[in-house]
């Protein structure tokens, strides 16, 4: 069953959504506010007209020529309404209802004679009304007071408010359409600022140079900087890949050439002694090629971009270092080298990567065993520093190297002059790169008597209690 492809997110839709949805909400709020203002204005106008009607009716009732009575014409005008929604009443305090089309409810407190009309809300026959009442002295009936009340329903008020709202909405709708058109044009035109960056990227083939430039908008600078950082890492990885190929070709050319020569020698002369000698050389060259390949891989791992935040964890050196030394004891005995360990009794830890640290120590020990020579002594020691860090030292009493050569020991493929042992010249380079990944410092110096001492100074872990001086154990042989 085929599935429709997922809709790809759109920056334009997202921007328009962020703009249009609030505008729509504001439109609804504006309609409600406009209706409220229009209704308030309509109430104000109708209340004023209602008060004027009450005052007019009071003047009619106080007209001496009318004698306190309404003419049929005046009664018709007061009672006339197309919807039949107008009411009035004239009530005498002495004689009760004198005129009107209904006995309207009175307010809680009737205003006194000469006071301003009193507006109030009431109901009659379950219909809400807006009413006004006032008091007037009767001329035709001395000593009597007339309470005049005029009321109307709220229908006309709402009709007028809706008319005002309709006029306002038409104007505002036209304005909103113009605003939305400007927003659409602004978003579409504003996104064109990305076109130069897009064209610049489209013109690239396999270039990994930075894409940032003065025409990149400030808002997408974090994106371009992230892409540039990615390109930088890719350039580093590609350079590391090319370097690995070049190093492999450089280091494997000699053993592979030797393998080819000894194979041809064995094939040319089938004498068992010659074949055995050729196989011996083939085995030695194979071991050399395997070790060189392993060191090249280790150097590549050490030179790869650091991921300290993921890889580095607390490591207990007082456990890892002795275990790594023990694994090389049999090889040291076979080479006629006395390999020992010296370290603190209490725990000493750093932040690091166990496999990389094992490669570091393995190359230090291998370098000492290989170049110190038969009958020499190699000592691996571990010391705590007052600042909470740790010092790892590998010292031998072999022939050592000239002092002027010490700064070059960490170079790739460098071998001190006069060395007869076979090697790739990569061991101390691996040590240097691994130490850098652990933010450690490597110091090369001559031994106390003779030979070489390599010291790796590790920084203290991120969280650590104040270190306490530890007594050292005697040499383990």
With beta carbons less than 8 A apart as the criterion, state whether 342 and 476 touch: yes
Whether the full predicted model's pTM is greater than 0.85, yes or no, is: no
Distance between CA 107 and CA 119 in Å, rounded?
A: 9
Burial of 99 (0-12, 13-18, 19+ CB in 10 A): buried
Q: Does domain 309-458 have CATH number 3.30.565.10?
A: yes
Domain boundaries, the chain: 12-162, 219-301, 309-458
Best CA proximity match to 249, nearest among 282, 292, 291: 292
Which tokens sit at 20?
């249009």
Edge-to-edge strands, sheet with 441-446: 338-342, 377-384, 390-396, 452-458, 441-446
Beta bridge partners of residue 148, listed in sequence order: 90, 134
The number of residues making up the chain comes to 477
Distance between CA 20 and CA 80 in Å, rounded?
A: 49
Query: Three-state SS for 276?
Result: helix
Residues 6+ apart with CB under 8 A from 368: 337, 378, 394, 395, 396, 398, 452
Per-residue pLDDT of the chain (477 residues; tens, 9 = 90+): 455 556 666 767 777 777 778 877 888 888 888 888 888 888 888 888 888 888 887 777 765 444 455 556 555 555 545 555 778 888 888 877 777 776 777 787 888 888 888 888 888 878 888 888 888 877 767 777 888 888 888 888 888 888 888 888 888 778 878 877 887 787 777 777 777 777 777 776 666 777 766 766 776 777 778 877 877 777 776 776 666 666 666 656 666 777 777 777 777 777 787 778 778 877 777 766 766 666 666 666 665 655 444 467 888 988 999 998 898 888 888 888 899 999 888 888 888 888 888 888 888 888 888 888 888 899 999 998 888 889 999 998 888 788 888 888 877 666 665 555 555 567 787 788 888 888 899 988 887 777 889 999 999 887 644 444 444 443 443
Distance between CA 120 and CA 110 in Å, rounded?
A: 11
Q: Does domain 219-301 have CATH number 3.40.605.10?
A: no
Q: Does domain 12-162 have CATH number 1.10.10?
A: no
């Amino acid at each position: 069953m085929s599935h429709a492809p997922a809709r790809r997110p759109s920056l334009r839709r997202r921007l328009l959504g962020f703009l249009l949805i609030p505008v729509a909400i504001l439109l609804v709020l504006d309609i409600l506010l406009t209706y409220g203002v229009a209704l308030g204005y309509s109430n104000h106008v109708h209340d004023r007209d209602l008060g004027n009607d009450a005052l007019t009716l009071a003047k009619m009732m106080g007209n001496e020529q009318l004698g306190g009575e309404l003419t049929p014409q005046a009664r018709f005008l007061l009672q006339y309404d197309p919807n039949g929604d107008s009411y009035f009443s004239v009530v005498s305090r002495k004689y009760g209802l004198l005129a009107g089309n209904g006995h309207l409810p009175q307010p809680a407190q009737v205003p006194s004679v000469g006071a301003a009309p009193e507006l109030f809300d009431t109901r009659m026959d379950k219909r809400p009304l807006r009413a006004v009442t006032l008091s007037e002295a009767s001329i035709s009936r001395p000593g009597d007071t007339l309470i005049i009340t005029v009321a109307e329903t709220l229908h006309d008020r709402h009709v007028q408010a809706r008319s005002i709202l309709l006029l306002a909405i038409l104007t505002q709708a036209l304005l909103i359409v113009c605003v939305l058109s400007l927003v659409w044009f602004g978003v579409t035109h504003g996104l064109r600022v990305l076109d130069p960056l897009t064209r610049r990227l489209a013109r690239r083939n396999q270039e990994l140079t930075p894409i940032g430039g003065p025409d990149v908008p400030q808002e997408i600078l974090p994106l371009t900087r992230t892409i540039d950082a990615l390109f930088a890492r890719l350039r580093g990885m590609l350079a590391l890949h090319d370097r690995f190929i070049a190093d492999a070709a450089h280091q494997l050319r000699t053993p592979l050439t030797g393998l080819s020569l000894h194979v041809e020698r064995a094939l040319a002369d089938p004498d068992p002694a010659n074949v055995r000698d050729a196989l011996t050389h083939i085995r030695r060259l194979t071991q050399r090629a395997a070790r060189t390949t392993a060191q090249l891989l280790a150097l590549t791992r050490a030179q790869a971009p650091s991921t300290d935040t993921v890889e580095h964890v607390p490591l207990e050196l007082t456990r890892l270092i002795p275990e790594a030394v023990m694994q090389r004891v049999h090889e040291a005995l076979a080479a006629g080298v006395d390999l020992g360990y010296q370290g603190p009794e209490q725990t000493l830890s750093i932040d690091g990567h166990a496999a990389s640290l094992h490669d570091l120590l393995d190359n230090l020990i291998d370098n000492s065993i290989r170049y110190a020579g038969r009958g020499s002594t190699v000592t691996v020691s571990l010391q705590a520093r007052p600042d909470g860090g740790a010092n790892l030292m590998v010292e031998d009493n072999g022939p050592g190297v000239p002092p002027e050569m010490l700064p070059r020991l960490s170079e790739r493929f460098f071998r001190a002059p006069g060395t007869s042992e076979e090697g790739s010249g990569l061991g101390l380079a691996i040590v240097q790169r691994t130490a850098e990944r652990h933010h450690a410092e490597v110091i090369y110096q001559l031994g106390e008597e003779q030979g070489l001492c390599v010291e790796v100074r590790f920084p203290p872990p991120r969280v650590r209690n104040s270190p306490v001086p530890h007594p050292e154990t005697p040499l383990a042989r």
